[in-house]
Structure 1
């Protein structure tokens, strides 16, 4: 590999982290209050929900499936926890376990319809996600559910280390697990093989259907976990909150696929993408902007980062269709 190719590959791999540092420097120069430990804690502690949801999406995206129900699962998971823990008086542990089991079962339903019935996942999950959003409204009577136990709320909000709540470190642990599985295990290599050519993978003897099935279950389970963190952090659950998390999770997943391990959906790329995007949005808020400028930054940053990676390395991104 000649010098130009090495430089191009390096730029492609680290384009987003470099732009992230430039964004931090820009807002630090424009706002004195931005460059503070309180801002760092705010950014790190408020994005765990999106991070967990994004990591969940990696499972299905890695096998060339698209789960559009992730936002609905986040909203449902939070509301189910709030209903069990707050309204019905369940202990926090059993309430969390039941929520995760129900969300996993929903993922299994998506898998049955897509993997075994052969319906495209983008259609299946769009439909089931809409149904689940309606179920969430029904379960909560379209009202915010309060009364989550103090024990659950304190676990989600009290500083564990350096004043940052426990869910952030849980998100880091999930990143580590996802990184290890996707990049250092036979299962991860099989998922890549399936994404490249499902039929060839099947002919090679891989359990394609089982792996795809498991991917849907993992996505919904982590979506439910993200909802649990959301409800615990807010000490309440809004039945309409899940819709907000669909676009950010997909944006972070695809932006993450352009960095660290370009061309593949990867855990640390997703981590960088989540906090890169929220850094920009937080910076705009410190400068007094809100609303549409945030959306422009969200979309513009994604396009800019992907374009930069393409120009630097000319490597193929994961296919979208």
Structure 2
């Protein structure tokens, strides 16, 4: 007996490669470096080092991913990371705030910065590249003003042990920052994949016109996205302060490129063709494994930015290819006329169009 419901198509080899190829590549890289460096790479000490070192990059990449879902870009995250980690230490050491209050103040500051970015982009109608680069420069100036260009070093009493513990603690034998990343990724996955808020953000990113037609308040949700990015950046700044225990006014910029590489490369994994938190975590894993391996092989200092730059170009190319492939292989077979769609179904169909222009995260969005 036939019904009017379309059959669920089996995943093709191309679909599986597109969705899980990046994860397979991470496994292959790990195996290769483990065979080449059997005494140092496949060890628990190296695993702990990778998880601790790249947890900041992972959090920042997840924060950068949120505006990318809406087709916008937040270039202020690197400058914000530098400001918030310096400000955390300044409030604890120089001002004398209790560390929980200092952390809360930094989180609020990060969220407010995200609100400002969203207002500049949506209400002042400034391109997201320009707006966030401008606010990032302002934050970098504030960082220099707070530190006067010098590092913030704790006095002889040091930092509170509980504050340091948020970075140095272990859980199940692994650094606790790795679990922060997993919790953040899980929360973002629930929000983006299971809640109306996430579906609205995907609709705005893939088809802003459709979002307006079905009544989604586009401006408000873009501001929400930038606020989430700012909040995550503030949390990463707190974690970086507890990890380094010294305020370096220029350290945040070093995290900007790896974070964007991971956020864009993650668009080609798990949910290929759309930014997603699980794919971003996989992308960070590839960067972490690759950088750790080439570092242990004795590569020169310039290899790291070369690796990040080449990976960024590959990521952007893969995102564009994946998007074009989705448009070419969209559903073409005729189907029976379905019943009138609900609002939720309209949101889902608008978020994953079978044709039309590619999602705006593949190229800089035109205002």
What TM-score, normalized to structure 1?
A: 0.93
Cα distance in structure 2, aligned partners of 1:260 and 1:303: 20
| Shift in Å, 1:152 | 0.7
Give the Å deviation of 1:293: 2.1
Q: 1:117 — aligned with what? A: 124
Q: In the TM superposition, what whole-angstrom CA distance separates every residue of 1:173-208 from its partner, at most 9, and x where no partner exists?
A: 000000111111111111111112223312211121
- Out of 161, 165, 168, which is 2:172 matched to? 161
Q: Offset of 1:2 from its aligned partner? A: 7.8
Give the secondary-structure state (helix, strand or coil) at the position aligned to 2:268. Answer: coil
After superposing on structure 2, the runs of 4+ consecutive aligned residues of structure 1 that deviate more than 6 Å are none
RMSD of aligned residue pairs (Cα, Å): 2.0
Task: Point out the structure with max Rg over C-alpha.
Answer: 2
Distance of 2:47 and 2:302 partners within structure 1? 24
**Structure whose residues are more often helix by fraction:** 1
Aligned to 1:87: 94
Does 1 or 2 have the higher relative contact order (CA < 8 Å, sep 6+)? 1
CA contact (8 A) 1:12 1:308 kept: no
Instruction: Give the equivalent residue in structure 2 for 1:101.
Output: 108
Distance 1:267 1:38, change over 3 A: same
TM-score, normalised by the number of residues in structure 2:
0.82
Q: Please give the alpha-carbon distance, in whole angstroms, between the structure 2 residues aligned to 1:76 and 1:308.
A: 33
Mean CA deviation greater in 130-139 or 165-174: 165-174
- The equivalent of 1:320 in structure 2 is 363
Structure 1 segments unaligned to the other structure (5+ residues): none
Q: CA deviation at 1:111?
A: 1.5
Partner of 2:13: 7
Give the aligned partner of residue 26 of structure 1. Answer: 32
Indicate whether 1:39 and 2:46 are aligned: yes
How many corresponding residue pairs? 319
Judging changes above 3 Å, is the alpha-carbon distance between structure 1 residues 185 and 300 closer, same or farther for their aligned structure 2 residues?
same
The answer for unaligned runs of 5 or more in structure 2 is 1-7, 327-357
What's 2:75 paired with? 68
Partner Cα separation in structure 2 for residue 200 and residue 2 of structure 1: 26
Indicate which of 41, 48, 58 corresponds to 2:65.
58
Post-superposition shift, 1:299? 3.3
Mark the CA change 1:225 to 1:261 in structure 2 (over 3 Å): closer, same or farther: same
> Is residue 12–residue 312 contact of structure 1 (8 Å, CA) maintained in 2?
no
Matches within 5 A, 1:172-321: 172-304=182-314, 310=321, 314-315=325-326, 318-321=361-364
Per-residue CA distance 1:133-171 (angstroms, 9 max, x = gap): 011010111111122333211231122321x22222111
- 2-side partners of 1:48 and 1:243: how far apart? 16
8 Å CA contact 1:255, 1:302 repeated in 2: yes
1:77 and 2:84 are equivalent in the alignment: yes
- Inter-CA distance 193–43: structure 2 relative to 1 (3 Å threshold): same
Cα distance change, pair 124–307 in 1 and its aligned pair in 2 (3 A):
closer
Q: Residue in 1 aligned with 2:336?
A: none
Contact 2:83 2:249 in 1 (8 A): yes
CA contact (8 A) 1:113 1:124 kept: yes
Q: 1:301 to 1:23 in 2, by over 3 A?
A: farther
